[in-house]
Structure 1
Amino acid sequence: MLSALEVVTIVVVGVMVGVEFSVAFVMNPILNALPGDAGQLGHAHGGRMLGALMPVWYIGSLVLVAVWAAAGWGRQGTTLVVISAGLLILSVLMSVLLLVPINNRGKTWTPENRPADWQQQLNRWLRWHYARVAVIVGAFGLLAAAVV
């Protein structure tokens, strides 16, 4: 049973990492290269779509890791799982305190109502997103190492 939990957790966290990595290094460069207002509108749409999905995914991943840590308590690799949980908690805190406020503003922007500093706010979001991606990649790596 623990092995199945480990596999499910690694897959769920790994896919989340892949999505966030793709946002940072694939989707944002594509959106930023679009002409006119298309990129800003794409960012707003992505903010609405992923803003609804990612909180469930982050919290769900954290719950799975916590269950793994509890179920495997005392076994080899549990320390890595607990550290991974700590990193996922950090990623949730980063999201709530740093990224979500910017995303909540950005997802409502249109070319008619966006603030003058919208690009600076978007760049600030992206810098924090890079840091969050590094944190969740670390969490994912620790989970993978825990089963080795």
Structure 2
Amino acid sequence: MENALAVVTVVVVGLLVGVEFAVGVFFNPILDRLPDNGGLAGRSDGARVLGKVMPVWYIGSVVLGVLWAALAWGGAAAGLVTAATALLVLSVLMSIVLLVPIASRGARWTPESVPADWKQQIGRWDRFHYVRIGVIVTAFALMVVGLA
């Protein structure tokens, strides 16, 4: 049971890391290079779509981590999984406090309603996102080591 849960958790968190990495390192920079602020619509749509999926994914990852840590308690992997889960909780808190407010505004932007400082706002979101990527990559690495 613990091994199956560990594998599922590592896969779910690994996919989460992959999506967040791709958004930060590939998709958003591609959108930002589109002429005439063409990336605004893509970022806005991405905020709407991912804003529905990512909360479930993040909370699900935390729940899986808690379950794995509970089953592993007293074993060699318990400390690593607990630390990884704590980092996932940190990433959720970062999302709620730092990223979601900006993304929620961005999800409503249209070419007609975009604020003058929208580029600064998405730049701030990007910086917070890179930090969050570092946090979840570290959590994932700890889980992989715990699985091994």
TM-score, structure 2 as length reference: 0.98
Partner of 1:138: 138
Partner of 1:129: 129
Q: Deviations over 1:15-60 (max 9, x none)?
A: 0000000000010111011122320010000000001100000000
Q: Distance in 1 between matches of 2:52 and 2:72?
A: 31
Matched residue type, 2:143 = L
Partner of 1:87: 87
Q: State the shift of 1:135 in Å.
A: 0.1
Which residues of 2 match residues 61-80 of structure 1 at below 5 A?
61-80=61-80
Which residues of 2 match residues 1-148 of structure 1 at below 5 A?
1-148=1-148
How many residues matched? Answer: 148
Matched residue type, 1:79 = G
TM-score, structure 1 as length reference: 0.98
Q: Which stretch shifts more, 132-141 or 32-41?
A: 32-41
Q: Distance in 1 between matches of 2:2 and 2:89?
A: 22
Q: Distance in 2 between matches of 1:71 and 1:127?
A: 36
RMSD: 0.6
Large movers: runs of 4+ above 2 Å: none
Q: Distance in 2 between matches of 1:34 and 1:57?
A: 29
Unaligned runs of 5+ in 2: none
Contact in 1 for aligned 2:7/2:147 (Cα 8 Å): no
Q: Deviations over 1:80-117 (max 9, x none)?
A: 00000110010000000000000000010011001100
Matched residue type, 2:44 = A
Share of identical aligned residues, percent? 55
